[in-house]
């Protein structure tokens, strides 16, 4: 479990440089090799287009059908990561890469069920199934499966700060985007 005090202490000490370096490593990982690039590129471009679309069409919002489809995105990424592990002879349920791939699959299936059957309140379901959330989780999954990236608390902090930074960045971009309607 992530310790809240430890999380905030990284912003006050020398750990901030390490946090920034870890955030850079996460951001640059999709461009670190051909295999991960071709898996990550569609996710990155789709996430950006989703955010820009909803910034230009401010009166529109995610629907249950799109939330369900976004859950399927995670399922398909999980299947792709499992295929990669099996084809590379790296699949082993005792290792973290395989556990992450299975975890992504379970998460994707859960999102599909939640959205398909309208299990959660609309606002909660649409946030957790939004393009940015879904594509970010899928990208992190690719990162940990396709690379030797080590997952620890520091990585979790960096991923969280990077996610919040992306939310803020796209909120600013959407604010300045003209409404096309």
What are the extents of the domains in the chain?
Answer: 4-176
Q: What's the pLDDT at 105?
A: 97
Of the pLDDT bands very low, low, confident and very high (cuts 50, 70, 90), residue 39 is very high
**Cα separation of 127 and 1, whole Å?**
23
Contact 28, 22 (CB under 8 A): no
The pLDDT tens digits of the residues spanning 93-110 come to: 999 999 999 999 999 999
Query: What is the predicted pLDDT for the residue at 131?
Result: 92
The mean predicted confidence, pLDDT, of the chain is 91
pLDDT the model gives residue 14: 72
pLDDT in tens, 112-124: 999 999 999 999 9
pLDDT, residue 181, reads 73
Higher-confidence residue of 116 and 181: namely: 116
d(CA 26, CA 162): 9
What are the structure tokens assigned to 143, written together? 């990162």
Q: What is the mean pLDDT of residues 38-60?
A: 93
User: Is the pTM for the entire model greater than 0.75?
Assistant: yes
The pLDDT of residue 4 is 64
The H or E element that residue 21 is part of is helix 15-28
CB 73 within 8 A of CB 179: no
Mean pLDDT, residues 8-30 = 82
As a whole number, mean pLDDT of residues 170-174 equals: 95
For residue 167, the model assigns a pLDDT of 96
Give the model's confidence band at 126: pLDDT under 50 very low, under 70 low, under 90 confident, else very high.
very high
Q: Which two tokens stand for residue 144?
A: 């940990």
In the structure, what pLDDT confidence band is assigned to residue 71 with cuts at 50, 70 and 90?
very high
What's the pLDDT score for residue 10? 62
Query: What integer is the mean pLDDT of 43-50?
Result: 94
pLDDT for 2: 53
Contact assessment for residue 70 and residue 131, using Cβ atoms and an 8 Å cutoff: yes
């Amino acid at each position: 479990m992530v310790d809240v005090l430890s999380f905030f202490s990284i912003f006050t000490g020398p750990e901030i440089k390490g946090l920034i370096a870890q955030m850079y490593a996460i951001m640059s990982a999709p461009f670190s090799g051909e295999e991960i690039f071709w898996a990550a590129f569609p996710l990155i471009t789709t996430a950006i287009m989703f955010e820009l679309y909803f910034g230009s069409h401010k009166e529109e919002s995610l629907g249950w059908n799109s939330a369900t489809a976004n859950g399927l995105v995670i399922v398909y990424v999980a299947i792709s990561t499992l295929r990669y592990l099996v084809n590379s002879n790296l699949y082993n349920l005792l290792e973290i890469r395989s556990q992450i791939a299975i975890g992504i699959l379970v998460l994707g299936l859960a999102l599909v069920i939640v959205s398909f059957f309208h299990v959660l309140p609309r606002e909660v379901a649409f946030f957790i199934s939004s393009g940015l959330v879904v594509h970010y989780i899928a990208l992190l999954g690719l990162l940990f499966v396709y690379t030797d990236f080590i997952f620890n608390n520091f990585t979790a902090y960096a991923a969280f700060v990077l996610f919040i930074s992306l939310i803020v960045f796209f909120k600013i971009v959407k604010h300045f985007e003209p409404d096309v309607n």
